[in-house]
Amino acid sequence: MKHLFIIRHGSYDIDDLTQFGVKQIEEIAEEMKTIVGDNSNGHYLLTSTAPRAKQTAEIIAKEFDLKDFDRNEELWTGGGYISREGIETIDRIIEPHTKNY
């Protein structure tokens, strides 16, 4: 079964996650792992280039034992709103990763 998680970074101060933000994402990553279960291969992690988004992705990658993740500046929404073009960008980026599932 495929799972798609779209999450926003944790609480932050200027550019970096706060300690509370780190805790938020650690808990979310654990919940994501619980939902996915033992099926731990074939994961793809994509984030914007925002520093807080990178920190968020690093926490999630660690939970899923991912060595790397992709970053794309087109995903930096500047306030949490994502346009239709943004959705189309996500579709275009993840499409190659949906094969063979």
Give me the phi and psi of 13, to 5 degrees please.
Answer: -130, 115
- Assess if residue 94 is contained within a domain: yes
Average pLDDT of adjacent 10-residue blocks, the chain of 101 residues: 80 92 95 83 84 93 90 76 79 76 49
Count how many domains the chain has: 1
Q: Look up residue 66 and give its DSSP letter.
A: -
Q: pTM for the complete prediction?
A: 0.79
- Assess if residue 2 is contained within a domain: no
**CA nearest neighbour of 48 among 16, 96, 90:** 90
Q: What is the CATH number of the domain that holds 43?
A: 3.40.50.1240
What pLDDT shows up at residue 100? 59
- Assess if residue 42 is contained within a domain: yes
As to burial, measured by CB atoms within 10 angstroms (0-12 exposed, 13-18 middle, 19+ buried), residue 9 is buried
Which residue range forms the structural domain that includes residue 46? 12-98
Q: Look up residue 80 and give its DSSP letter.
A: S
State the Cα angle at 66 between 63 and 2, rounded to 5°: 85
